[in-house]
């Protein structure tokens, strides 16, 4: 039996989704992993996103013709 591309993509999406769900359950049920995950999320929200936003504002300002 041969799979066409759409069926193979659907099967792959289901497998990846199941793996992600399993990982999420494991992380949420293990206290050390849960603390690590929330710490990384907090770092992303307080460092990465503001740095990205600052870069985007500087780029937009520069591209608008306001150098300085």
Q: Which residues contact 28 (CB under 8 A, 6 or more apart)?
A: 34
Dig out the tokens for 37 from the structure: 């995950």
The set of residues, in sequence order, having a beta carbon less than 8 Å from that of 26 and lying 6+ positions away, is 33
**Domain for residue 14, yes or no?**
yes
Asked if residue 35 belongs to a domain, the reply is yes
Look at residue 57 and tell me if it is in a domain.
Answer: yes
Whether 68 is in a domain gets the answer no
List, in order, residues 6 or more apart from 58 with CB less than 8 Å away. none
pLDDT tens digits, 7-27:
999 999 999 999 999 999 999
> Does a structural domain hold residue 44?
yes
Could you list the residue range(s) of the whole structural domain that residue 42 is in?
A: 5-63
pLDDT, tens digit, for every residue of 28-57? 999 999 999 999 999 989 999 999 999 999
Quote the number of domains for the chain.
1
């Amino acid at each position: 039996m041969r799979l066409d591309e759409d069926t193979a993509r659907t099967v792959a999406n289901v497998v990846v989704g199941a793996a992600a769900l399993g990982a999420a359950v494991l992380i949420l049920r293990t206290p050390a992993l849960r603390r690590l995950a929330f710490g990384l999320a907090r770092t992303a929200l307080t460092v990465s996103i503001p740095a990205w936003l600052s870069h985007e504002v500087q780029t937009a300002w520069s591209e608008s013709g306001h150098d300085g």
